[in-house]
């Protein structure tokens, strides 16, 4: 297990380096930074000056290494638009987004695991069809539209929950439901497909032949084997939630990372965009690593080598 974990960790570090280099290069390729920094109507001497001051005239490799070294020390530079330390700015917004992502994933799992299992236990029954209907609606309904409907019903008409903002726990309820419902169908269908396959397996028949209770057969013997692909999907979706809640954060005026990313891009605030892109990439790499380790725990064939 330790060797496996170290191998995965080494691979993750390698991927992180490559990804950060790509993020750096892509943003550089999107336009001349010096011109963007100088603003409209700048004279060419000004642009040259900026290029020298920010070190943009040096070779790209040197610029990358310099930037990476600073990032590693926690020096993310200064925001061009907010004029504050990027590190502090990003750290200030991260908890809101991270909480929203985590709540959404938990909500999605709480809905999709039981429904997926039930649909697999009774395929083509009314519960299976209900799940399919919920899944189709969840995947087809644009999340901003669903957000507006929930807002009208629960915030405006019933007045149970606040419309927007990020001041209290209550503010997170509607965004959590919207995002969770958006990612739940994919998980539910994967759980259903995996469970149907596993329930037909020989070892589930063995478990039933042992006279185990149906809950033990389904939850202990079947579910654990069906969860392996689900863990990988959940990790990817958590990454998606961390980076992809721009629309929902904007609709609900949640002051998180997605909203900051949107602002930094519209204002050509390169250090902020770069920091967010890099941070999210690293989070993705970290989540993939976590999923690999979780799967190794679930499936001993990954974790323990063969041979007696």
Q: Which of 27, 98, 163, 212 binds other proteins (CB under 8 A)?
A: 212
Query: What radius of gyration, in Å, describes the C-alpha atoms of the chain?
Result: 24
The reply to whether 202 sits near other proteins by the rule CB under 8 A is yes
The reply to whether 225 sits near other proteins by the rule CB under 8 A is yes
Which region, judged by CB under 8 A, interacts with other proteins, from 64-72, 161-169, 211-219, 236-244? 211-219
Q: What phi, psi does 85 have (nearest 5°)?
A: -65, 125
**Shortest Å, Cβ 202 to other proteins:** 4
The reply to whether 215 sits near other proteins by the rule CB under 8 A is no
Residue 305 Cα to chain centre, angstroms? 32
Q: Which of 206, 219, 229, 253 binds other proteins (CB under 8 A)?
A: 206
The reply to whether 300 sits near other proteins by the rule CB under 8 A is yes
Burial 158-187 (b: 16+ CB within 10 A, else e): eeebbeeebeeeebbbbbbbbbbbbbbbbb
- Half-sphere CA count of 94, side-chain side, radius 13 A: 13
Which region, judged by CB under 8 A, interacts with other proteins, from 29-37, 80-88, 136-144, 202-210? 202-210
Which residue stretches of the chain are H helix? 2-29, 33-38, 44-53, 60-72, 86-121, 126-140, 143-150, 170-199, 202-209, 214-215, 223-244, 246-251, 257-266, 270-298, 300-303
Could you tell me the two tokens for 227? 């969860």
Q: Which of 3, 209, 215, 266 binds other proteins (CB under 8 A)?
A: 209
Binding mask 245-284 for other proteins (x = CB under 8 A): ----------------------------------------
CB of 28 closer than 8 Å to CB of 20 = no
Which region, judged by CB under 8 A, interacts with other proteins, from 62-70, 176-184, 209-217, 277-285? 209-217
**Shortest Å, Cβ 224 to other proteins:** 5
DSSP 3-state assignment of 252?
coil
**Shortest Å, Cβ 267 to other proteins:** 51
Q: Which of 39, 205, 219, 253 binds other proteins (CB under 8 A)?
A: 205
Binding stretches for other proteins (CB under 8 A): 201-203, 205-213, 216, 221, 224-225, 298-301, 304, 306-308
């Amino acid at each position: 297990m330790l060797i496996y974990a170290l191998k995965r960790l080494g691979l993750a570090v390698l991927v992180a380096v490559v990804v950060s280099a790509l993020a750096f290069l892509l943003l550089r390729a999107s336009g001349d930074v010096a011109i963007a920094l100088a603003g409209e109507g700048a004279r060419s001497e000004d642009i040259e000056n900026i290029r020298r001051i920010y070190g943009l005239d040096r070779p790209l490799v040197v610029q990358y290494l310099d930037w990476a070294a600073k990032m590693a020390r926690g020096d993310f530079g200064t925001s061009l638009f907010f004029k504050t330390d990027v590190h502090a700015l990003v750290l200030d917004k991260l908890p809101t987004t991270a909480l929203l992502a985590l709540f959404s994933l938990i909500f999605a799992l709480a809905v999709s695991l039981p429904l997926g299992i039930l649909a697999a236990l009774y395929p083509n029954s009314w519960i299976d069809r209900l799940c399919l209907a919920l899944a189709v609606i969840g995947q087809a309904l644009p999340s901003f539209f669903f957000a507006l409907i929930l807002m009208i019903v629960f915030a405006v008409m019933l007045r149970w929950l606040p419309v927007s903002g990020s001041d209290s726990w209550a503010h997170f309820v509607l965004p959590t439901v919207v995002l969770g419902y958006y990612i739940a169908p994919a998980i539910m269908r994967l759980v259903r497909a995996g469970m149907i396959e596993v329930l037909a397996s020989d070892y589930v028949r063995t478990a039933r032949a042992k006279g185990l209770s149906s809950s033990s057969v389904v939850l202990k013997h079947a579910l654990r084997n069906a969860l392996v692909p689900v863990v990988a999907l959940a990790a990817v979706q958590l990454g998606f939630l961390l980076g992809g809640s721009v629309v929902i954060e904007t609709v609900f005026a949640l002051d998180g990372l997605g909203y900051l990313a949107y602002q930094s891009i519209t204002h050509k605030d390169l250090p902020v965009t770069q920091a967010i892109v890099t941070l999210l990439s690293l989070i993705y790499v970290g989540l993939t690593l976590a999923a690999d380790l979780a799967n190794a725990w679930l499936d001993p064939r990954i974790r323990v080598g063969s041979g007696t």
